[in-house]
Chains A and B, each alone.
Chain A
Amino acid sequence: MVGAGPSSLAAAVYTAREDIETLLLEKSVIGGLAAITDKVDNYPGFSQGIEGLKLAEQLQAQAERFGAKIDFAEVLGVSDEGEYRIVKTDGGDIKTRAVLIATGSDYKKIGVPGEAEYYGKGVHYCATCDGAFYRDKRLVVIGGGNSAVQEALFLTRFATHIDLLVRSSIKASEVLQHDLQAAVDKGKITVHLETHTGEIVAENGRVTKVTGTKDGVKTEFMTDGVFIFVGLLPNTHFLEGSGVDLDEVGLIKTDEKLRTSLPGVFASGDVRSGATMQIASAVGEGATAALNIREFLENKKPTLYS
């Protein structure tokens, strides 16, 4: 399984529990984006919500309890060699009968000057990791979707004030918009709609302001740091030339059994074209993929007389 986010961890619970030898390869963080999310409020079964990191730890422990193995490795490619699939990694090739790709997505960069230069030094993509460095400071958060609003709300624990820069309009869920309004009413967050980010500016190596434009007029936001949540980029670059078909935005195309265009290679979760980008859906797809993988392996299993 490529990736160790909620989808493949859920799949691993099913496959490992059925004694299918299961290896998950993760290059970043076990639990994926869920693990770096402050609070998951809409995952069924947790009436008060659950911290993303705790949910990830539970999923991991459950998969490992049934014997799934998780290794640190970056997958560089997948190919079909007839009876087997070859998964090429930075630690060598792995020969396997079936592959599940559940690599999810990463937060997109906005590509403005200063973003790359001050990454980790005033520019951040993980509020739960880096928010604590901004106690009693001012912050800018860029984005208007669920992640941006949720993480901006999380950051109000630390920051004195947050300017939320939104390119068009707020696209977060009603519940989050309600919470955002409460933070706006308390003076913790100011929302700037129709505001395009221009540059992240630093003085003496410290981020001091963000420039932007609204209605063609240049504006400036004084800040100590910037958190960016402007959408997701599918982790599928390693599939280039593999024969796994992608859609126009780079998500993996699958059929109703979550099979990709490459035999024996399945996909589930946020990386799949048509995914709803919800942890509950990713977990459900993981379970579906696991059952379809089992079926695929049973059909592949050599019989005594074959």
Chain B
Amino acid sequence: MAKNITVYTTNTCAYCAMVKRYLDTKGHAYKVVNLDEYPDQRQKVIEMSGAQTVPVTVIENAGSDAPNITVGWNPGKLAAALAA
């Protein structure tokens, strides 16, 4: 199923690098929103994820309303979200 993937990151976040590496190794294309470059997106991330942390990975499936949101570097949860 077609997926739109967005990874919210900051310049200094090592766990964000892990999420990007994971998606790269699994062959998924994704968009990166760096909150240091787009600080106006910070509030949106807090509202979406309920957390004040990055990485936040948002996976939208075509035809589905509710995106899957993974907070932090959690390969098990990412794998499940990508398989859904």
List CB contacts (< 8 Å) of B35-63 with chain A: 35-36, 39, 42, 46, 50-54
Select the stretch in A40-48, A79-87, A125-133 that faces chain B: A125-133
A-B contact count (CB 8 A): 71
Please give the residue numbers on chain A whose beta carbons come within 8 Å of chain B beta carbons, in ascending order: 28-31, 35-36, 38, 51-53, 56-57, 72, 120-122, 124, 126, 128-135, 205, 225
* Pair B15/A120 contact, Cβ less than 8 Å: no
Given A29-B14, A72-B22, A120-B71, check contact A129 B39 (CB 8 Å).
no
* Pair A36/B35 contact, Cβ less than 8 Å: no
Please give the residue numbers on chain B whose beta carbons come within 8 Å of chain A beta carbons, in ascending order: 10, 12-18, 21-22, 35-36, 39, 42, 46, 50-54, 71-73, 75
Task: Supply 6 A–B pairs (Cβ within 8 Å), ascending by A.
Answer: A51-B12, A53-B13, A126-B53, A128-B12, A128-B14, A132-B39
**What is the CA–CA distance of A29 and B55 in the complex, to the nearest angstrom?**
12
Most buried by A among B12, B13, B16, B42: B12
Q: Given the complex, which residues of B lie within 8 Å of A131, measured CB to CB?
A: 12
* Pair B15/A126 contact, Cβ less than 8 Å: yes
Q: Given the complex, which residues of A lie within 8 Å of B13, measured CB to CB?
A: 53, 126, 128-129
CB closest residue in chain A, given B55 = A129
Given A29-B73, A72-B75, A225-B52, check contact A129 B42 (CB 8 Å).
no
**What is the CA–CA distance of A134 and B17 in the complex, to the nearest angstrom?**
21
CB closest residue in chain B, given A125 = B53
**What is the CA–CA distance of A4 and B73 in the complex, to the nearest angstrom?**
15
**What is the CA–CA distance of A28 and B14 in the complex, to the nearest angstrom?**
10
* Pair B14/A129 contact, Cβ less than 8 Å: yes
* Pair B53/A133 contact, Cβ less than 8 Å: yes
Q: Within the complex, what minimum Cβ distance (angstroms) separates B72 from chain A?
A: 7
Given A128-B13, A132-B36, A133-B42, check contact A30 B18 (CB 8 Å).
yes
* Pair A120/B14 contact, Cβ less than 8 Å: no
Most buried by A among B35, B42, B50, B51: B51
**What is the CA–CA distance of A14 and B51 in the complex, to the nearest angstrom?**
41
Q: Given the complex, which residues of A lie within 8 Å of B39, measured CB to CB?
A: 132, 135
Q: Given the complex, which residues of B lie within 8 Å of A121, measured CB to CB?
A: 50-52
Q: Given the complex, which residues of B lie within 8 Å of A31, measured CB to CB?
A: 14
Give the contacting residue for B53; candidates A30, A35, A53, A124; CB below 8 A: A124
Given A29-B73, A120-B71, A225-B52, check contact A132 B42 (CB 8 Å).
yes
